[in-house]
Amino acid sequence: MKENPEIARWAQRYQTALRNHLGQGPRAGLGPAFELGRQAAAFGLETLDVARIHERILKTVVVPHGAARSRQQILSRSRNFFEETIVPIEQTHAAAKEDVRHVAELGEELRRRTAESSASARSLKRGVAQRQAAETELRKSGESHARLVKKSQGLEDRLQDQMRQILTAQENERRTSSRKLQNEIAQILVAIHVRLLTLKEAAKTNTENLKKEIAETQALVKQSVQTIQRLAYESGVHHEA
């Protein structure tokens, strides 16, 4: 790794802090290691970069020909120092992972909202289409209603014309029947009148039967006259109505 001046100075501070930590014995605190880790994270160092620096420095602090137990203790404590140093870096990675997860969640939420928006847009489009269809149907219904009203008015006019025609025909038929009846009665009256004249001549013989027949014939004439008057009156009243 090609180190810039700041990283080189950081590596020097790391070496000094590690030596001090090892020199203080098992009870030495790990605060300096954590602070060095915060600085490393600020420089942008990764765990592997710190591991390489740690390995290089470790070769200078561990006595190659020392006692095995002593060497093992140094390696264990230096490992603890290293692990404490990379904690801030790992925390940064964890934060970055959390950010990535959060971004992914936001992306998923955005996709969900987009899908909901698309569904809402489609629903709105269907609603508009349904409203337009309803308006079209209502307009057609109104036009159909207008046609039905017009047709009904035409049928009513035709019915009134037919009623007038029927009433006129009935009136004409009544008048025709009345005239026919009057003509028949008039013919009967004429016949009765002729018969009376004949009987009048025959009555000169002073026959009792002829007198009786004349009286009956006169009664028949009187009845016929009354019938004609009644028919004439009823015809006049009906005509006025």
pLDDT tens figures, 107-134: 577 578 767 877 876 887 887 789 888 7
Structure tokens at 144: 């159909």
Structure tokens at 89: 């870096």
- Long-range contacts for 181-184 (Cβ within 8 Å, ≥24 apart)? 181/231, 182/228, 182/231, 182/232
d(CA 161, CA 167): 10
77 CB contacts (<8 Å, ≥6 apart)? Answer: 21, 22, 26, 28
Cα 164 to Cα 157, 173, 175, 235: the distances in Å are 11, 14, 16, 19
State the pLDDT at residue 55. Answer: 92
Alpha helices in 44-86 (DSSP H): 47-61, 68-85
> What is the maximum alpha-carbon separation in the chain?
199
Q: Is residue 96 within 8 Å of 46, Cβ to Cβ?
A: no
State the pLDDT at residue 37. Answer: 94
For residue 9, the one-letter residue type is R
- Global pTM exceeds 0.75: no
Q: Is residue 203 within 8 Å of 210, Cβ to Cβ?
A: yes
Q: Please identify every stretch of the chain with a pLDDT value under 70, giving residue numbers as ranges.
A: 1-3, 62-67, 95-104, 106-107, 110, 114, 121, 145, 177-178, 181-182, 185-186, 188-190, 196, 199-204, 206, 232, 234-241
